[in-house]
Amino acid sequence: MFSTNDLAEKLTLVDDLHRLGIYYHFEDEIREAITSINDYVDDAIGDIRLVALRFRLLRQEGYAVSPGVFRKFKDSEGKFKQELSYDVEGLLQLYEASMLGTNDEPILKEAMDFARGHMERMKGEKPHTAQIERALETPFHRGVRRLEARLYIPVYAKSKACNAILLELAKLDFNHLQSIHQAEIQSFYVWSEEVGLMNNLPFYRDRVAESYFWILGVWFEPRYSIERLLLSKLFNLMTVIDDMYDAYGTMKELQLFTNEIERWDFQDVDGLPEYMQIFLNAFAGFMIEIEEELRKKGTLHHRHYIIELFKSFVRANFQDAIWTNNGYKPTFEEYLNVSLVTVGYPLLISASLCLMEKDLSKDILEWLLSVPKIVKASSMLFRLVDDLLTSEFEQQRKHLDSSLQICMRDEGITEQEAVAKLKSMAEKAWKDINKEWLSSLPSRKHLNLLALNYTRTAEVIYEHEDSYTNPEGHMKENITLLLIHPIED
């Protein structure tokens, strides 16, 4: 199938492999196909669907193709031609392509608004109903890869362009991976009970399935099984720390705990309350697992950077607790400086890279400690979408104001105006991520992919509600789709 010289067939094949979630089996073939797709001259393509699909697939692979390819679809007044408004497939591809825009590409913002407006009008029109609704809810670029595959496979099965061989492979692959993921989450549950957090911490939130889902959204491939479990455990432990600093520990206890983390000794913990001792015992065991894995890979020196980032995470949580306890009202800038660390992404993204990569230079490792721009953008997106959906659970606790409330107070604006500002900031963060993705050096490719996938996961989890805090709605549906029900023949 890859041997075709037909541009439309090659573009469609690469897109289908991505959407069906089986692209990771064909990485070399896709790389070669993308190279040949890049060699096509844009002026020779007159179909908006193909131009937009080519643009998206190239940018998806890191090619900085110019958005000027869309100018030929504008009229004499500089607006997108009205005739395009009747081309459903063209609109879908134009909308999806616009999601890979950066902050200095207004034509892609125009493309987004044009396509979305007409797609809203077409909702409910067959045979593209499911595709239109999914694209409007979660554009493919911003979607969790495993979830997108699970939702697309039944849609693909009903399409006229369905290839029976690809469909069969996608179903077999999904169900095979699901069985692997089920075994992993079972192991995760056993660990959580064995370390005693679930039964011995009065404030413990059982978020084992949710923690695992979050990491599964970042890397689902079988070869990352060990790393996926380790990161799920880390995420779960970070949730405990968040609750400890937010809702349970006294300031004296939190000071002692912070000091213990700074010393990184864990031998003399008798002065700590019992719940902190239980946590540190579990955490020390977890760090031994991390060290064993790094030692196997010959990257034990990565441990230092994971530890330093973990310390930063704890320090930021302590600063948050100090402000809350003292009744201090931080400025918007102060709040963001601390909360971009307390969301945990600088630690999670960097720890993921340290576990995943063997050949990280000292410069790259030191760069992680500075929190690279793409990691800041990912953390910003997470912080903003979380704050826009501040849950009742969070409001019931003694807690700092969210960025929404601080923005209203600092700038003297209404809630509606503050919501609009935060949404604009979130959109800018997405475009910053896209920019970093296109301008990245080869040595930073994996970091950028991790940041992108962590951003996608946060976007999906906070799309309609805070479904990590309140997992009974969309989170439960998504976990059921990925981890409980296989795809039937």
Q: How far is C-alpha 370 from the chain's CA centre? A: 20
| pLDDT score of 467 | 65
Q: Is 72 helix (H, G, I), strand (E, B) or coil?
A: helix
**pLDDT at residue 45, rounded to an integer:** 83
Q: For position 407, what pLDDT does the model report?
A: 94
Give the tokens for residue 170: 């996608």
Euclidean distance between CA atoms 382 and 457, whole angstroms: 9
DSSP classification of residue 215? H
pLDDT tens digits, the chain, 489 residues: what are they?
999 999 999 999 999 999 999 999 999 999 999 999 998 876 678 899 999 999 999 999 999 999 999 999 999 999 999 999 999 999 999 999 999 999 999 999 999 999 999 999 988 777 788 899 999 999 999 999 999 999 999 999 999 999 999 999 999 999 999 999 999 999 999 999 999 888 888 888 888 999 999 999 999 999 999 999 999 999 999 999 999 999 899 999 999 999 999 999 888 788 899 999 999 999 999 999 999 999 999 999 999 999 999 999 999 999 999 999 999 999 999 999 999 999 999 999 999 999 999 889 999 999 999 999 999 999 999 999 998 876 444 445 556 788 999 999 999 999 999 999 999 999 999 999 999 999 767 778 899 999 999 999 999 998 877 767 777 778 899 999 999 999 997
- 3-class DSSP state for residue 74? strand
Sign (positive/negative) of CA torsion 118, 120, 126, 130? positive
Parse the chain into domains and list their residue ranges: 7-142, 175-483
| Per-residue model confidence (pLDDT) at position 489 | 78
CB 49 within 8 A of CB 93: yes
- Residue 333 neighbours by CB under 8 Å, 6+ apart: none
Return the pLDDT at 391: 40
What is the 8-class DSSP label of residue 246?
A: I
One DSSP character per residue, 304-338 reads HHHHHHHHHHHHHHHHHHHHHHHT----HHHHHHH
**Cβ 88 vs Cβ 122: under 8 Å:** yes
Count other C-beta atoms under 10 Å from residue 337's C-beta: 13
7-142 folds as: Glycosyltransferase (1.50.10)
Long-range contacts from 336-342, C-beta under 8 angstroms, 24+ separation: 336/380, 336/383, 336/403, 339/383, 339/403, 340/371, 340/376, 340/379, 340/380, 340/383, 341/312, 341/313, 341/315, 341/316, 341/371, 341/379, 342/242, 342/313, 342/316, 342/317
DSSP 3-state of 80:
strand
Q: What distance lies between CA 311 and its chain's CA centroid?
A: 23
Query: What is the rounded distance in angstroms from the CA atom of residue 107 to the CA atom of residue 78?
Result: 10
Tally the C-alpha atoms within 13 A of residue 221's C-alpha that lie toward its C-beta.
Answer: 9
Cα angle for residues 430, 454, 199 (degrees, 5° grid):
140
CATH class of 175-483: mainly alpha
Q: State pTM to two decimals.
A: 0.95
Burial readout 391-401 (b: 16 or more C-beta within 10 A, e: otherwise):
eeebeeeeebb
Q: Which two tokens stand for residue 264?
A: 């990184």
- The total of other beta-carbon atoms located within 10 Å of residue 138's CB is 18
What's the Cα-to-Cα distance from 369 to each of 288, 312, 353, 377, 381, rounded to whole Å? 22, 9, 12, 15, 20
Residue 13: what pLDDT? 97
Report angle CA 236, 238, 243 to the nearest 5 degrees: 100
